[in-house]
Amino acid sequence: MRVHVRLKGWWVVALVCVVPCLSYGNYVYGPDEDDICYALGHDQIVDMRPMSEIVHQDGKHYSASHPVFLITLKSGIKGVYKIQRECEIFAEVAAYRASRMLHFSFVPPTTIRVINGKLGSVQMYVKTNIEVLGSQFEHLLALVPADDLANIKIFLYVFGQHDAVAHNMLMNKEQDKVTLFAIDNGCIAIKKFWQYGKNPFIHVSTVYLFPKVGEEKNFPYSHFKTMPNYHPDELKKVFGSIFSLAYYKNKLSKYKPFRYIIFNHQLWVQKKVDEPVFCFITYCPADTLERLKALTKLDLVQIFSSFRKVIADEFVDDDFLNAILDRRDQVVAYFDHVKRDLVREEMRCG
């Protein structure tokens, strides 16, 4: 299916891979996901309410860093409309396209739409029966089927969802089985360097602010510096007037301890230095590994094609696409190594 949308002087062509009706847990998105996406982007809106009202009515906690609304369409379909930065809006759609291309169903159908003059993403609303926020998140993860949990963790890693936390997930429980959904994927638009099994270094500065250091072509993961006792004044001593005091206090204050690398004239900060890595797992279904191996740069161009002219400077460029393939290669290499170790162990024991 091909949908044309006029956006800020560009024709955005939404290319969607046609696959059979997909079901996930007790949810069936079909009969035609293309029809759902078209409805989310075009159907008449008959009701629109802040998402916080809906969540609080269900007795759940609500957390969001941007305006979010539940819209009800004339067709009866409900969608979650989010107003974010433009690159994050397109990233939400790209995450859905990527998951669909790989035959995963944990990202609900997602498209773009302008409502009241404001561009946003619209994702099919999934009503669930569990409170995700809180201490029970880790316990509930243990009830997600092994293949589903492995697929979602590996997918989020490969496509760079470094903020895979409870408030960006939904869970639904039926008997002793939990279905997990990835619903907030805008941060895949942020460039990052990420080793499998470790926490990523996130791109912080948006322009070339720092002098070039050496001739390194590969990201120097081990050459980091750490400021354990973070304070804006201490950061200013290191970086001077490159950033404003407000930037030190508001933008950089979330990184504690402050571990950073200067590479390609820019600042990269490691996220969640002392926290466990969510997007890491030691098991991968064989068919998932084969689909990842088959993923090509041309596939990524198809996933991100409609966004390149709109926000190429901020979001999609060759470095961005190559980083996805590099993370894919890391996963493949890791599990090839695991397989070789298992074969050696079997030979030793046999």
Whole-angstrom Cα distance, residue 158 to residue 285?
Answer: 15
How confident is the model over 242-256, as pLDDT tens digits?
787 777 777 777 777
The 10s digit of each residue's pLDDT in 106-160 is 999 999 999 999 999 999 999 888 877 766 888 889 999 999 999 999 999 999 9
pLDDT of residue 148: 95
* Tokens of residue 270, six digits: 């490691």
Query: Residue ranges of the alpha helices (H) in 103-244?
Result: 137-141, 146-158, 232-239
Provide the pLDDT for residue 55.
78
Quote the pLDDT of residue 219.
92
From residue 154, alpha-carbon distances to 3, 72, 334 in Å are 30, 33, 12
Of the chain, the end-to-end C-alpha distance in Å amounts to: 53
Q: Which of 268, 271, 267, 314 is nearest to 89 (CA)?
A: 314
In a structure prediction context, what are the per-residue pLDDT tens digits for the chain, which is 350 residues long?
333 333 333 333 333 333 333 444 444 455 478 889 999 999 999 999 998 888 778 777 776 778 999 999 999 999 999 999 888 999 999 999 999 999 998 999 999 999 999 999 999 999 888 877 766 888 889 999 999 999 999 999 999 999 888 888 899 998 889 999 999 999 999 999 999 999 999 998 766 667 666 556 889 999 999 987 777 777 788 887 778 777 777 777 777 788 999 888 888 999 877 778 889 999 999 999 999 999 999 999 889 876 654 544 556 788 889 999 999 999 999 999 987 777 666 666 76
pLDDT at 8: 34
Estimate to the nearest angstrom the gap between the alpha carbon of 168 and the chain centroid. 9
CB-based contacts of 24, cutoff 8 Å, min separation 6: 105, 106, 179, 181
Q: Among residues 133, 144, 190, which one has the least CA distance to residue 167?
A: 133
